[in-house]
Amino acid sequence: MALFRLGMPGENVPVVRGDGVTLRPAEMRDYEEWVALRERSRTFLVPWEPIWPADDLTRAAFRRRVRAHTEEIERDEAYPFFIFDDNEALVGGITIGQVSRGVAQTATLGYWMGQPYAGRGYMSRAVRAAAHYSFITLRLHRLEAACLPHNDASSCLLESVGFTREGYARSYLRINGIWQDHLLYAMLEHDPILAPRRPLGRPKR
């Protein structure tokens, strides 16, 4: 379910309520919690992400990030969200990005999860919430995602939600400083979004 709450004057800030998770755009008050989670998860995240800029974890860079995200939402270009659990703890992030309107009506999904919360079902629920928001609120027709071929956790996550593997792209994205192949997934607006297979918060065995 998508809600809107008042942000800065003249702004409507999207808030997406999912099953045990809430998605909302980053705000400056999130900085301390965000930087602590990213720093704690650095080794865990680096193999799956573009190279972090030297100033990535600074307050100034975070302020630029918040401003850029606000502008992207206002222009209907991307919808970057932080993921919070029911205790309002920051657990990760998810972005409905590269929104293309016109004859395409598509977007690309990207996400990251803090190491302490990985494998506990938070991301699968966030992806479900983002998919519902994409198709119902944003009225998109197609949602795409890509992951590294050896990222079994991400492949399993996408397939568990209902994404279909559609192809293999060579040298697709520059991850951790290296151009790497990716598996390509997609979900269409009429595809079923599959229910979770296990309770939230329980580590995967």
Q: Within the chain, where are the H helices?
A: 31-40, 42-45, 59-74, 122-132, 152-161
Query: Quick check: 109 and 49 in contact, CB under 8 A?
Result: no
Whether residue 204 is contained in a domain is answered as: no
Q: What CATH number is associated with residue 9?
A: 3.40.630.30
Torsion over CA of 17, 23, 24 and 29, rounded to 10 degrees?
A: 120
**pLDDT, tens digit, 9 for 90 and up, residues 10-34:** 356 799 999 999 999 999 999 999 9
Q: 179: domain range?
A: 2-188
**pLDDT, tens digit, 9 for 90 and up, residues 134-161:** 999 999 999 999 999 999 999 999 999 9
Cα–Cα distance, 96 to 126 (Å, whole number)? 11
Whether residue 200 is contained in a domain is answered as: no
Domains in the chain, number: 1
Predicted local confidence at residue 4, as pLDDT? 40
Q: Is the pLDDT of residue 2 over 60?
A: no
Predicted local confidence at residue 200, as pLDDT? 75
Whether residue 133 is contained in a domain is answered as: yes
User: What rounded mean pLDDT belongs to the chain?
Assistant: 93
Put simply, whether the predicted model's pTM sits higher than 0.85 gets the answer: yes
**pLDDT, tens digit, 9 for 90 and up, residues 124-139:** 999 999 999 999 999 9
Whether residue 39 is contained in a domain is answered as: yes
**pLDDT, tens digit, 9 for 90 and up, residues 77-100:** 999 999 999 999 999 999 999 999
Task: Please give the share of the chain, as a percent, with pLDDT higher than 90.
Answer: 88
Cα–Cα distance, 139 to 88 (Å, whole number)? 28
Whether residue 203 is contained in a domain is answered as: no
Whether residue 198 is contained in a domain is answered as: no
Query: Quick check: 23 and 131 in contact, CB under 8 A?
Result: no
Query: Quick check: 161 and 124 in contact, CB under 8 A?
Result: yes
Predicted local confidence at residue 5, as pLDDT? 41
Which residues does residue 168 pair with via DSSP β-bridges, in sequence order?
A: 183
Whether residue 202 is contained in a domain is answered as: no
Whether residue 205 is contained in a domain is answered as: no
